[in-house]
Amino acid sequence: KLTLFGNSKKNSIMKRLPNVRSIWIDSLHYDEDSQIGLMKTNGKTYSVHDVSPQEMNEWVKAHSLGRYFNRHIKTCKRIVLI
């Protein structure tokens, strides 16, 4: 589990999402309270902001996580390399 600091409500615990099966994405973590996801790929970690629980559920269940990211997340969410 990763701790997310700086959340105005409280410090949140990021939960690692199970069964991430992707050549490109190594792991996904998500905090429903802050609606922030963490995506690890190629040794880098990115925060993905304003991801609703429904969007995260659709992303994790997508046939291709990378394709879903490129089509539905990358174009409309704030993404920060951390």
Three-state DSSP at 54 gives helix
Position 56 scores a pLDDT of: 92
15 pLDDT band, cuts 50/70/90, is: confident
Share of the chain above pLDDT 70, in %: 79
Which of 37, 81, 78, 32 lies closest to 59, judged by CA? 37
Q: Is 69 exposed, middle or buried (0-12, 13-18, 19+ CB in 10 A)?
A: buried
- The residue whose two tokens read 């990763």 is 2
Q: What is the pLDDT of residues 65-75, one digit of tens each?
A: 999 999 999 99
Q: Which residues pair with 13 in a beta bridge?
A: 3
pTM score, two decimals?
Answer: 0.76
34: number of Cβ within 10 Å: 19
